[in-house]
């Protein structure tokens, strides 16, 4: 058993590098969510990441590089892959490509492919530069918990097992990267919705992209347990289409009314009441994404009996928001 530690939240990349050299994973800010990082060549620390997160070994990690040069050290790149990387990096686009031998099996869950991206935040990039090799970094939360978008959220979930959390403020995007597989160049596949919309990639590539559905079923009914769970708060989370006009029926009346938090994406056309929250005062989907995980995590800690939240319009980053909400939801009450 690992003895308990108490993480320090700080602003020093030197300190982060110090702990990595000591054999400890550190939490680092990216523009998507906070990551739990280890150098690609430190199997000992990578093993610790799986253990501390309680992450199943068949769930591969994303390799974070500085640029296209470092990309080519870890993956076989076609002109199309380089073209995408040059356009969208540094940024929230992860590319799945054939791996090079230097990438250990534990990172790819034994697959011959590797997922790679270049993060945008100066702090993360500085740590890669100082360490001199790419860093693997899954989100800095325990398996199936909500991804952290602030240093304090990392501390709440993992502060007792980490030594250092590098604080870069709130993550700009707030949802994990878009993942695009280029294994079959003629048929690129979207493996995860994220901040860069599928349509943006299609326009850039001049070809259509298939969405590979690990996506939860978008059902019409009360469907507890139907979803591939992820990002789950402890408090039951109900997902609805239009919260302002939602009329609960039957057994849902209590869950809707008694000690429940109601989360609007945009301001409703009336004053907010106690227990009501708005994710973006400016009706900006980007801001909704940025605040989404933080509010779920805060309300989860605030002892409500239920959290009710509405889904986003299915455009731009709205698809990523809905994907995460569906996986977090215990009950999906959306209309067909
Ligand atoms: P995260 O949990 O946010 O760190 O993201 C890691 C995710 O990236 C995994 O759960 C996979 O969905 C995806 N991923 C990583 N490596 C690969 C790979 N080689 N092939 C396909 N997907 C991958
Ligand atoms: Mg994660």
Res 64: pLDDT: 98
* Alpha carbon distance 58, 42 (integer Å): 19
How far CA 185 is from CA of 14, 65, 210, 248, in Å, comes to 40, 22, 12, 47
With tokens 């590539």, the residue in question is 205
Q: Is 60 helix (H, G, I), strand (E, B) or coil?
A: coil
CATH 3.40.50.11030-classified regions of the chain: 237-332
The alpha carbon of 191 and the centre of ligand 2 are apart by a number of angstroms equal to 14
Helix (H, G, I), strand (E, B) or coil at 63: strand
Alpha-carbon distance 291 to 173, whole Å? 9
Q: Which two tokens stand for residue 137?
A: 């970094």
Q: Is the CB of 240 under 6 A from ligand 1?
A: no
197: helix, strand or coil: coil
CATH 3.90.870.10 domain span(s) along the chain: 8-211
138 lines ligand 1 (CB under 6 A): yes
- Number of Cβ within a 10 Å radius of residue 210: 12
pTM for this one? 0.91
Q: Helix 79-88 vs helix 198-205: angle between axes, to the nearest 10 degrees?
A: 130
State the closest ligand 1 atom to the C-alpha of 147, by its place in the atom list counted from 1: 3
**What pLDDT does residue 160 have?**
96
Structure tokens at 257: 């009314």
* Ligand 1 pocket: which of 40, 49, 50, 62 to mutate (most atoms within 8 A of CB): 62
Q: Among the CATH numbers 3.30.300.30, 3.40.50.2300, 3.10.330.10, 3.90.870.10, which is that of 8-211?
A: 3.90.870.10
pLDDT for 230 equals: 62
pLDDT of residue 332: 77
Q: Compute, in angstroms, the gap from residue 264 CA to the centroid of ligand 1.
A: 30
CATH topology of domain 237-332: Rossmann fold (3.40.50)
Distances (CA, A) of 187 to 8, 32, 117, 211, 254: 45, 26, 20, 10, 48
For the Cβ of 60 lying below 6 angstroms from any atom of ligand 1, the answer is: yes
Tens-binned pLDDT, residue by residue, of the chain (336 aa): 566 799 999 999 999 999 999 999 999 999 999 999 999 999 999 999 999 999 999 999 999 999 999 999 999 999 999 999 999 999 999 999 999 999 999 999 999 999 999 999 999 999 999 999 999 999 999 998 889 999 999 999 999 999 999 999 999 999 999 999 999 999 999 999 999 999 999 999 999 999 996 544 433 223 233 335 566 788 999 999 999 999 999 889 999 999 999 999 999 999 999 999 999 999 999 999 999 999 999 999 998 999 999 999 998 899 999 999 998 888 877 654
Taking the centre of ligand 2 as the mean of its atom positions, its distance from the CA of residue 139, in whole angstroms, is 4
Residues 6 or more apart whose CB falls under 8 angstroms from that of 226 comprise 216, 217, 219, 332
Residues 288-303 pLDDT 10s: 999 999 999 999 999 8
- Strands of the sheet containing 8-10, edge to edge, are 8-10, 164-166, 26-28, 35-39, 135-136, 62-64, 113-117, 93-98, 178-181, 189-192, 210-211
């Amino acid at each position: 058993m690992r003895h308990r530690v108490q993480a320090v939240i700080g602003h020093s990349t030197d300190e982060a590098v110090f702990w990595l050299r000591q054999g400890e994973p550190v939490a680092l800010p990216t523009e998507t969510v906070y990551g739990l990082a280890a150098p690609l060549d430190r199997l000992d620390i990578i093993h610790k990441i799986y253990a501390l997160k309680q992450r199943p070994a068949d769930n591969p990690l994303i390799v974070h590089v500085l640029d296209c040069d470092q990309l080519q050290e870890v993956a076989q790149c076609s002109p199309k892959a380089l073209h995408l990387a040059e356009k969208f990096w540094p940024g929230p686009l992860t590319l799945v490509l054939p791996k090079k031998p230097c990438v250990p099996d534990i990172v790819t869950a034994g697959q011959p492919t590797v997922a790679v991206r270049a993060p945008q935040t100066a702090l993360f990039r500085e740590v890669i530069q100082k360490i001199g090799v790419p860093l693997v970094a899954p989100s800095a939360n325990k398996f199936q918990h909500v991804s952290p978008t602030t240093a304090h959220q990392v501390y709440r979930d993992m502060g007792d097992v980490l030594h250092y959390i590098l604080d870069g403020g709130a993550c700009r995007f707030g949802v994990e990267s878009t993942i695009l597989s280029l294994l079959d160049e003629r048929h690129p596949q979207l493996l995860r919705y994220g901040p860069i919309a599928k349509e943006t990639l299609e326009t850039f590539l001049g070809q259509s992209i298939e969405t590979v559905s690990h996506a939860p079923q978008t059902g019409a009914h009360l469907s507890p347990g139907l979803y591939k769970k992820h990002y789950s708060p402890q408090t039951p989370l109900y997902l609805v289409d239009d919260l302002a006009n939602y009329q609960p029926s039957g057994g849902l009346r209590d869950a809707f009314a008694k000690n429940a938090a109601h989360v609007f994406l945009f301001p409703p056309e009336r004053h907010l009441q106690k227990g009501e929250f708005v994710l973006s005062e400016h009706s900006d989907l980007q801001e909704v994404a940025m605040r989404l995980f933080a509010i779920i995590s805060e309300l989860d800690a605030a002892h409500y009996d239920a959290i009710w939240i509405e889904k986003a319009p299915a455009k731009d980053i709205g698809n990523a928001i809905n994907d995460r909400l569906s996986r977090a939801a215990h009950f999906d009450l959306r209309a067909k």
